[in-house]
Amino acid sequence: MAENIYYYEETKGRIDGKYRFLSNFYNARMVIHKKEYATVEHYFQSMKHSGTDLEEKIRLAPKPMDAKELAWTRPLPPNWDGIKESIMLLALRAKFGQHPELARKLLDTGDARLHEDSPTDRYWGIKGKDRMGILLMQVRDELREENNG
């Protein structure tokens, strides 16, 4: 039976050490569409307001939680539910694709099941659909294929 790995980074500052790098709040600068983002969270939240004045404010927010809070100041685009996973997957591929040391750490999780242990998130977290862990495992499988191919 595969091991389970639970990770979560609270907004109050508690960080799970060994698997902190899995968090979308983890500082891993990446370039997507010729723009630099400090974290996956910055990219994901900014895409909620793509093409508006808020997109750039979110991208440049000092901290991931600031980016998240800014994104909540306006309604989501009507098509958000249909595109949010592809946006998250693009961000995760960029994070692990542009940081070989993080890709290695993700690969080192082996066949463990990955879970974002959010106490409240009913979509991305384990208390809901567990989609973040599923997408991370997908990226891990893709990295494994690249390394073996």
CATH code: domain of residue 14: 1.10.357.40
> For the chain, what is the domain count?
1
Read off the pTM. 0.93
Q: Is the separation of the CB atoms in 133 and 115 below 8 Å?
A: yes
Residue 81 has pLDDT above 70, yes or no: yes
Identify the weakest region by mean pLDDT among 46-50, 80-84, 145-149: 145-149
Q: Over the stretch 116-128, which tens digit does the pLDDT of each residue have? A: 999 899 999 999 9
Phi, psi (deg, nearest 5) at residue 6: -110, 135
The larger pLDDT score, comparing residue 17 to residue 69, is at 69
- Residues pairing with 37 in the sheet: 30
Q: What whole-number distance in Å separates Cα of residue 72 and Cα of residue 10?
A: 18
Identify the weakest region by mean pLDDT among 64-68, 132-136, 144-148: 144-148
Residues 6 or more apart whose CB falls under 8 angstroms from that of 94 comprise 30, 31, 32, 40, 43
Residue 10 has pLDDT above 80, yes or no: no
Burial of 72 (0-12, 13-18, 19+ CB in 10 A): exposed
Q: Identify the domain containing residue 65 by its residue range.
A: 4-148
